[in-house]
Amino acid sequence: MLERLWNGWRAQYVQRDAKTHATTESVFTEILRSNIPDDESHIIHRGETCFVILNAFPYSPGHLLVLPYREVADLELLTSQEHAELWETVTTGVRVLKDEYGPQGVNVGINLGHAAGGSIAKHLHVHVVPRWGGDSNFMVAIANTKILPEALDVTSQRMKQAWERVTK
């Protein structure tokens, strides 16, 4: 039996018109253009061509997304500057996560296209996910429920401070 957990912040995403969603900007571009302060949007770092934001629906605390400001769908559409900064920022993100959270492993990945699992396929983004042995427990298998031990705003504060500390 599927259990339900209240996840009210997801309503805005779920209730978007699918037709409009297909023709409008990505949620990442919308966040950038909204002028919402970085503390509220959970943007961790801004570079010249790329930025880092926390995943609003993380697999584990510290789940980062690294992406170009420019909305492109595929790696081959990146400029050489975007490409270099993207991978440099991914590497820095891994260092920051290791320093702050001490994970036993880190997943780094991209889903290119909807068929590959890309939920926001029009705006390329690299997932950087800290992992621990046992971080997926019986709750997923038995209760179909994911447990996150830290609130997103706490993770955001920790990651911003860690980013500044590690990159000095």
> Catalytic residue numbers?
125
Taking the mean position of all CA atoms in its chain, how far away is CA 55? 3
Are residues 123 and 28 in contact, defined by beta-carbon separation less than 8 angstroms? yes
Q: Tell me how far apart the terminal alpha carbons of the chain are, to the nearest angstrom.
A: 49
Q: What angle do CA 95, 98, 101 make, to 5 degrees?
A: 140
